[in-house]
Amino acid sequence: MRPLYRRLVSWALLVLALLLVLTGLGITEFRTVEPLTLGLLGKALSFQLHSLLWIPFLALLFLHMVQSCRVRR
């Protein structure tokens, strides 16, 4: 079984990836995404979130890649 931190990084990366896709769609397809999110994710908020999520996404992606590339004993 994988250690807890590896699973945590994997799940956090998945959540951030899905949020990046959702906010990206909120920027380009805001007329569709806004009603689907009950008005919570408008174009302006989508753009702000999308811009802020890149740094944590890249950090988690780097951690995920390092964990995957380490030599197993």
Domain residue ranges in the chain? 4-65
More confident residue, 62 or 72: 62
Token pair recorded at residue 19: 């949020």
Per residue in 6-23, pLDDT (tens digit) is 889 999 999 999 999 999
Confidence of residue 1 (pLDDT cuts 50, 70, 90): low
- What is the spatial distance between Cα 23 and Cα 41, in angstroms, rounded to a whole number? 8
Per residue in 32-47, pLDDT (tens digit) is 889 988 988 889 999 9
pTM for this model (two decimals):
0.83
Angle at 10 between CA 21 and CA 35, to 5 degrees: 25
pLDDT reported for residue 65 = 92
| 8 A C-beta contact, residue 56 and residue 5 | no
